[in-house]
Chains A and B, each alone.
Chain A
Amino acid sequence: MERMKPAFRQPQAAEDRQAAVSVRGVSMVYDGVHAVRDASFDLAQGKFLTILGPSGSGKTTLLRLIAGFLEPTSGEIFINGRAVSAVPPHRRSIGMVFQKLALFPHMTAAQNVAFPLKMRRRDARTIPERVERYLELVRLGGLGGRRVHELSGGQQQRVAIARALVFEPDLLLLDEPLAALDRKLREEMQLEFRRIQRQLGVTTINVTHDQREALVVSDEVIVMEAGMIEQNASPLDTYRAPATSFVANFLGVTNRLSGVVTSLDGDRIGLLAGDHLMVGAAAGPGGSLQIGARASAAIRAEQIRISPDLFALSGLETVLSGTVSDVIFEGDRVVYEILTVLPETGPLRVFDHDVGSRRQYRAGDAVHLGWNARDLFVYKADPEPAATKPDRGD
């Protein structure tokens, strides 16, 4: 198995430090709509980037611009330092796995994998051996003779991956190929993508609306919304320090609050919601908050402490009381919905991961909530009504 492994890509030499992909001020306008607006980012060799966003955020358009299926209205894309706007897709060295996989139905698995090699006029004598090597890489050794429709959904995914990688492309693009799979298979394939990507060291850009996938597989995450890049950071930083209130609300299960800024003390922000004073931390671009201005705030369900006893929360900077309105048992955690006195705020969602805990609250119980100032992200107030939040992260 070890000797059959496809050649590792050597870690790039010092003089080869240029970005594998460099997107510079790219915009795409179709029918007067800005699908992508002034997007710029660099991706280093061998990294796994996920572009995360809700549908209609422009993430797929950005991927198709990189693949060459669309031409940017303005801006330029560089792959390994070469401007590619004038290069048609079949001359770019890019492997792609499509949402609906797009395997050629009239060919066998092996013929699908051999197709890019034939089209790239590789030496015909080496093709069968290489096809078999890549089928083994995706754990389909021996199944090359099967027709596409004779393979299961997961096996078809693997054929699509092998077809995208067999010609050793400079770049691998994944256009939500896992979206149609059931959850268990999807999570298995996420790890599989990660394993193969690490093994080959191929620079990869993945597009998804699944926040869990983005956090699990990526070295870097770009969050997009309405054609704009909201944040470009590591998965940990994206989750821990969301740059905008959109990112804060898109990732994780987040409670949305709002209030008026009453004090600014470095990063510590005093926020008055109704007649209740909360303490939070400034997030996002600094200097945008002003005393007396409205601000929006976000806190993750897992950062709120819940207790029947006010004194148990005495170390926390913000404390408020509420009433349990609903209890949702999700297996590995219990979600409480708590009605509070805060105005313009729905019930706060609070996680309790200690499912075996002797403390179980019931609807109607009076409880106290509290959190640390650093866990309440405070942003300049959203100009528009709150963006709709996707399904609760699973």
Chain B
Amino acid sequence: MTGSLGKSVVLWSVVACGLVILSAPTLVVLGASFTAGNIIAFPPEGLSLKWYSRIAGAGDLWNAFQRSLYVAFVCTLAAIPVGTLAGIALAKYAVRPERTIQVYLLLPFTIPLIGSGIGLMLLFGDLRLLGQLWPVGIACCVINLPFMIWAVMASASALDPELELAAASCGAPPLSTFLHVTLPAVVPGVISGSLLMFILALNEFLVSLLLVDARIVTLPVHIYNSIRSIITPDLAAISVVFIACAAAAVLLLDRLVGLEIFLKSK
């Protein structure tokens, strides 16, 4: 009698619990950023936008944010051609050691970031690239590339192979077939992968920490440095800006290609 009611009460409580746990950090930071007081606290003491005006006027923060944007652009620009081609190749062709390549693609996740960070630091040090910003973008691209590849693979494996045969029978040589048929079909995957790469690079902390020096800190590293001295509510305000960036990317993604493909990309 009450069995189904009981079941739905339990289910909904679990869902509500999950939602609260997932969103709690965001809500706390959001609340704390609007505090009128001088120390970071939740619930906030009063409401004001003063910490937002403070960060808007802070030149060092803006510079760090712009550097983070630059890193994210470099990372995305590098990831688009590499990830697109690799994703199409893995989805379409019987690449010989396919399993090996899949495992290799997982390496960035299985190796702790601190490990890859140190490796990249040594490598870039040998190449005398440390102290510049663009190698940080490349490093972010290297460690997050699997996301790009998977997003493209999801699109490419949904591509009907007969489309490429049809292009050939229309007289299209292989390169034209690729440009006119294969590439347009994977564009949704490329868009979702690119936005993901952009956000991941924008937020990337640990690897950046190892690769930047004091003159070229990115925003997450800047925040970290600030936390070590004194925790003020402007950090919460910065975090909210970050969250807003991520939310904007997700909305953009939904607008451009719909979220389904993003959610399907493993």
Contact = CB atoms under 8 A, between A and B. Distances in A.
Nearest to B183: A106
Given A96-B166, A115-B180, A102 B160 contact: yes
A119 B171 CA distance: 6
A120 interface: yes
Nearest to B170: A116
A104 interface: yes
B106 to A, nearest CB: 31
Contacts of B170: 90, 115-116, 119, 163, 167
Interface string B141-178: 00000000000000000001011011111111110110
Most interface-central of B174, B181, B185 (chain A CB within 10 A): B181
A105 B165 CA distance: 14
Interface in A218-271: none
B162 A102 contact: yes
Interface string A85-108: 000111100111011101111100
A103 B185 CA distance: 12
B163 to A, nearest CB: 5
B168 to A, nearest CB: 4
B184 interface: yes
Interface residues of A, number: 26
A41 interface: no
A67 interface: yes
Most interface-central of B163, B165, B169, B173 (chain A CB within 10 A): B169
Contacts of B174: 90
Given A100-B160, A100-B162, A102-B162, A94 B169 contact: yes
A120 B172 CA distance: 8
Contact of B184 (A67, A99, A106, A163): A106
A67 B170 CA distance: 11
A329 interface: no
A90 B165 contact: no
Q: Provide the main secondary structure of the chain B interface.
A: helix
Nearest to B187: A106
Contacts, number: 65
Contacts of B162: 98-100, 102
A117 B177 CA distance: 14
A89 B185 contact: no
A164 B165 CA distance: 12
Contact of B165 (A98, A119, A120): A98
Given A104-B181, A164-B169, A119 B176 contact: yes
Contact of A104 (B163, B168, B169, B171): B163
Contacts of B168: 68-69, 88-90
Interface string A46-67: 0000000000000000000001
B32 to A, nearest CB: 46
A105 B181 CA distance: 9
Contacts of A104: 163, 166-167, 180-181, 184
Contacts of B163: 102, 104
A29 B119 CA distance: 50
Interface string A301-313: 0000000000000
B172 A90 contact: yes
B175 to A, nearest CB: 11
B172 A98 contact: no
A98 B164 CA distance: 11
Given A98-B165, A105-B185, 6 more contacts: A96-B169, A99-B162, A102-B166, A115-B170, A119-B171, A163-B170
Interface of A: 67-69, 88-91, 94-96, 98-100, 102-106, 115-116, 119-120, 163-164, 167, 173
27 contacts: A67-B165, A68-B168, A88-B168, A88-B173, A89-B169, A90-B168, A90-B172, A90-B177, A94-B169, A96-B165, A96-B169, A98-B162, A98-B165, A99-B162, A100-B160, A104-B167, A105-B185, A106-B185, A115-B170, A115-B172, A119-B167, A119-B171, A119-B176, A120-B171, A163-B170, A164-B169, A173-B169
